[in-house]
């Protein structure tokens, strides 16, 4: 295909082409973003514990929302960091720092949400699994 020979400068022409670019983006996140890899590992651990504790569909729904919220906010944070670095050419700029800090704050908020959801889902599941208190 022509894309292998030159850089694409026009809009995607097909769904497979768009999908290929999206998968390239996910690959770049996994390859280059340490925090994204950490979040993927934590998500896999959560899935394993969810299977062990035989969670119900509503618990899976909340955990899935929490996991994808964190992963999505990590992706947005990476976008902000890359665009800011492109604009300021890796020079210190107070507005650039603010933008990066705010993006990182968004990740922190989604991580706090995920911790709350995890607690609300897993504390009762652990109590029930080990028949604690009754």
| DSSP calls for 83-117 | HHHHHHTT---HHHHHHHHHHHHHHHHHHHHHHHH
Which residues have a catalytic role annotated? 74
CA distance 122 to 107: 22
Cα–Cα distance between 26 and 5 in angstroms, integer? 22
């Amino acid at each position: 295909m022509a894309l292998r020979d030159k850089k694409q400068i026009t809009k995607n022409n097909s769904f497979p082409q768009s999908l290929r670019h999206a998968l390239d983006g996910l690959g770049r996140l996994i390859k280059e973003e340490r925090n994204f890899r950490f979040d993927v590992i934590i998500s896999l651990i959560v899935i394993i514990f969810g299977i062990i504790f035989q969670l119900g569909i509503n618990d899976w729904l909340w955990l899935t929302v929490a996991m994808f919220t964190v992963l999505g906010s990590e992706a947005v944070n990476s976008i902000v960091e890359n665009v800011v670095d492109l604009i300021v050419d890796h020079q210190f700029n107070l507005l650039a720092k603010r933008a990066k800090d705010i993006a990182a704050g968004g990740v922190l908020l989604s991580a706090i949400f995920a911790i709350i959801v995890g607690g609300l889902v897993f504390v009762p599941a652990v109590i029930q699994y080990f028949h604690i208190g009754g």
